[in-house]
Structure 1
Amino acid sequence: MLNIQALTDHAQQAAQTLGISRYDIYGSSVDEAGVEVSFGEPKQVQASNRSSVIVRVWNDQGQVGVTSTTDLDADGIQLALQTAAEASDFGVTENIPEFSPEAQAPITDMEIKTVPASPINALTTALIAAEQQLMAAHPAITGVPYNGLSEETIEHFYLNSEGALRHEARSYASIYLYSRAEQEGKKPRSAGEMKISHSLADLDIAGCLAKVTEKTLSHLDYHPIASGKYPVVFSPTAFLSLISAFSNLWNAQSILDKQSLSSPESLGQTIASPLLCLSDDARHPDNLGADSFDGEGTPTRRVSLIHNGVLVGLLHSAGTAKRFHTQPTGHANIGAKVTVGAHFYHVFSEQTPAQTYSLAETENVVFIDKLQALHAGVNALQGSFSLPFDGWLVNRGERVSIDAATVAGDFLDVLKSIVYIEPEAEVTPRGVCPAVWVKELAITGE
């Protein structure tokens, strides 16, 4: 565990020695143990402890210098402060970062759990058993080429020269299984699933196995799809992937950098179907990676981004909030430049839809389970995407795996074309989201 009081003392003593009057420090420490297996044998077993600290120092002219270190003893902190102080002479002179006005604001208590780490052999045994069960589920499943079971305990802290001090720790376990199935005369088929929990003891390994098995077997009987426009249903995972790929829409720093589909005047404008509500909620009870404060010490909170189709909020750091004449929202990541990032999305609807839809009753619908190649197939500044996907063509509940196809469109058009948001939501590592129905999108198949 980090000794936060010792870190604070090191920083105060070093700053006094160096004549530094204004500084802040944000850091994290990760203890991780993880395993991978291959055909019943350990493939990779690893354990690590990683620390990362960002130090900022302001000089007498108000410029800020930034450096990083992994050395948390007195000498390491003093060297980092000295280096940042020297770098401050080259700091920016416009829109200089400042302390968050909420760095010492009270934080509402959150239920954040830490549990003792499991023995590494317990991780190995559990993952080998999961691999064997998955391969035994069907003769066509020939292997689980990508898999992993890990436990992590993460601590992070923030302190500054004005007396702010934040610290918290949490732990979680996760499992990932990605199968490979082969049949004579057919292409190999694959499917993956991930589960996350507070500890190995309550990790839903059985649920992960059931889901990846069901997906794998459903892809064995595949057929090509004719190119054209189809009604599309995005799975929760797929829709959140798309949301994340175009998050510049509500990122205040991206807007100020003119790297966004939005502008400062976009607030209050309708950008989506009135069925859509979207929030970023670091404190959501289903967010196992919940943080109570960001890199500037600002308390996190639930931020409404889209309400009934209207863009109503943005994600802010202290710097962007000042330029927008509002309050920071707890989304800052400090580094050489302060950036803004989302925590945990929550997609839902408050409106009664004009019509409800069901895969059991609708014909010729493409269900997209997972989007691929998001790093290459998304143009975040134009709003366009063209992405391969895993999914099925569904006719009145009967689904047939799609051989190979891409989905293409414009993200803002997708948001405005939402015709139904299912009432039942699913918890994923990125957020809570139901399946989302879109009127139609272009599918390129054979």
Structure 2
Amino acid sequence: MADNRLNPEALSARLQQLAQAAAIHQWDLGASCSTDTSVQVDRGEAKQMKGAQRSAITVRVWNDKGLVGITSTSDLSDAGLERALGGAHAASAFGNSEETPAFSPLATAPLVSLDQPLREPQPILTLLESLKEAERQLLDRHGAIGTVPYNGLAQRSSERLYLNSDGARRHQLLTTASIYLYARAEEAGRKPRSSGAVRMAYGTGDLDIAGCIDEAAERTIAHLDYAPIETGSYTCVFSPEAFLDLIGAFSSLFNARSVLDGVSLSQRDSLGQSMAVPFLSIRDNGLHPGNIGASLFDGEGTPTAPLELVEGGILRNFLHSEATARTFGVHPTGHAGMGAKVAVGPDWFEIGPTPGSGGGQQGLDRFSHGGPLVVIDSLSALHAGVKASQGSFSLPFDGWLVAGGVSRSIEAATVAGDIRKLLQAIVGFEGEAKVTPDGLCPYVWVEGLSITGEA
């Protein structure tokens, strides 16, 4: 990777010369390039071994009327860049006058410094042997674990770039690695049960493979002794992963682009209003040390920064691009993509109690009598079972029923509700916040959710 790195200064100078020759006064470029290696195995044999080099380069041009044209290329030669600039300029004649992104006013602001060590990639055969050994250890954990049907070990070397004609020069190099193990267990006369785990790091040598094996085995084995659950209303305890998945599915609540497009439950005047229990806080913090693969800047060059979304149950901020921030009269927040109509999305959530609020401990104390609880370990079918613009969800889940101090896996069930009511029905938080690939969150207790058991 080192010999093929992009040179922001040289590339910017070439683009400026080519743009001036074509009488183009305003332009920007975003690039993302990566080299990926991954392996999968099946009962001790290689199932798939892949290597790929990918590049996505986008060029935008503003014409004299302020309309934007956009094109993509993979050719960074002078001829390729000249064609890209010319194509984007021609496309600008058909630009949408109602969607006119501009340069982010923060595209030249200083970036923070993150500790993101670069690791050398390992040979693909080394990855294969490591994954074979991980699969073997997981299969040996319990006689009922017969296969690990979903697994993978991958590494990536990548770089991102943002340049514009006002002098912005953003560049980031990054290496990441990941492993996932999803086991399948089956006992005579019983339905198959499955569960898994994932780990991420800056390099394959840093991966907690042993921890991934332990978690996948423990979760899978814990689901072997299952029983049906009666349909009814239950107090539920969401695992950190499950609650983060649910909040992520309803992230349009915090998305200024969704608000302006009329597909969010929030309105322009929702800021400052209560949307959750008074001890809940949600922050988007892509710079958290636990966020492996954190981006230093967004698709418009705006620096990534922590943003309080919900504080003390009050909606404080929306996620913004340059265009939405301009409409709201605020600064961009570093959550934009790149395009003629710029998309907005979250980075990495931190969810937990508002400092000084007690975290709902009084609410948790009400359940010390050991009444029935449903522990929701993981949610499924999030794309099909969530209606984000309406607030409703109906999602299959894996979990346990805890009654009389005894925990037993639930055979099959669905949890349903409305996200607005759920946020007002949070009882409290339990345990230390856990770092996951999607964010930081403790266990979350929610009262009065509808659980439908298998008929």
The TM-score range, normalised by the shorter chain, is over 0.9
Cα distance, 1:189–1:388 mapped onto 2, change above 3 Å: same
Quick check: 1:26–1:158 contact (8 Å CA) kept in 2? yes
Instruction: Give the one of 152, 177, 183 matched to 2:181.
Output: 177
Query: Secondary structure in 2 aligned to 1:333?
Result: coil
2:111 is aligned with 1:107: yes
2:389 is aligned with 1:381: yes
2:312 is aligned with 1:308: yes
208-217 vs 395-404, which moves further = 395-404
Quick check: 1:361–1:397 contact (8 Å CA) kept in 2? no
Distance 1:195 1:389 in 2: 21
2:336 is aligned with 1:332: yes
* CA deviation after TM superposition for structure 1 residue 167, in Å: 0.2
Q: Which residue of 2 aligns with 1:398?
A: 406
* CA deviation after TM superposition for structure 1 residue 358, in Å: 10
Quick check: 1:57–1:85 contact (8 Å CA) kept in 2? yes
Q: Which residue of 2 aligns with 1:25?
A: 29
Give the counterpart letter for 1:37 in structure 2: V
Distance 2:203 2:407 in 1: 35
Query: Secondary structure in 2 aligned to 1:249?
Result: helix
Give the counterpart letter for 2:160 in structure 1: H
Query: Secondary structure in 2 aligned to 1:356?
Result: helix
Give the counterpart letter for 2:383 in structure 1: H
2:373 is aligned with 1:369: no
2:124 is aligned with 1:117: no
* CA deviation after TM superposition for structure 1 residue 356, in Å: 2.9
* CA deviation after TM superposition for structure 1 residue 335, in Å: 2.2
432-441 vs 392-401, which moves further = 392-401
Runs of 4+ in structure 1 over 6 Å off: 358-361
Instruction: Give the one of 399, 404, 418 matched to 2:426.
Output: 418
Cα distance, 1:84–1:288 mapped onto 2, change above 3 Å: same
Distance 2:404 2:289 in 1: 35
Q: Which residue of 1 aligns with 2:436?
A: 428
Q: Which residue of 1 aligns with 2:145?
A: 141
* CA deviation after TM superposition for structure 1 residue 360, in Å: 8.6
Quick check: 1:2–1:29 contact (8 Å CA) kept in 2? no
Distance 1:28 1:397 in 2: 52
Distance 2:302 2:404 in 1: 49
* CA deviation after TM superposition for structure 1 residue 74, in Å: 2.0
Distance 1:92 1:4 in 2: 30
Q: Indicate the percent of aligned positions where both proteins have the same amino acid.
A: 50
Cα distance, 1:308–1:290 mapped onto 2, change above 3 Å: same
Query: Secondary structure in 1 aligned to 2:325?
Result: helix
- Match runs of 1:233-272 below 5 Å: 233-272=237-276
* CA deviation after TM superposition for structure 1 residue 440, in Å: 1.7
Instruction: Give the one of 415, 433, 438 matched to 1:407.
Output: 415
Distance 2:108 2:434 in 1: 35
Instruction: Give the one of 84, 87, 90 matched to 2:88.
Output: 84
Give the counterpart letter for 2:418 in structure 1: D
* CA deviation after TM superposition for structure 1 residue 396, in Å: 5.1
Quick check: 1:100–1:297 contact (8 Å CA) kept in 2? yes
392-401 vs 305-314, which moves further = 392-401
CA deviation digits over 1:386-435, x for unaligned, max 9? Answer: 00001111135531110000000000100000011124111111001111
Quick check: 2:27–2:60 contact (8 Å CA) kept in 1? yes
Distance 2:289 2:39 in 1: 28
TM-score (norm 2): 0.96
Distance 2:442 2:450 in 1: 22
For structure 1, the residue ranges without an aligned partner over 5 or more in a row are none
Quick check: 2:139–2:147 contact (8 Å CA) kept in 1? yes
Query: Secondary structure in 2 aligned to 1:332?
Result: coil
Distance 1:230 1:138 in 2: 32
TM-score (norm 1): 0.98
Cα distance, 1:397–1:297 mapped onto 2, change above 3 Å: farther
- Match runs of 1:154-193 below 5 Å: 154-193=158-197
Q: Give the paired residue count.
A: 446
138-147 vs 394-403, which moves further = 394-403
Distance 1:5 1:191 in 2: 48
Distance 2:435 2:370 in 1: 25
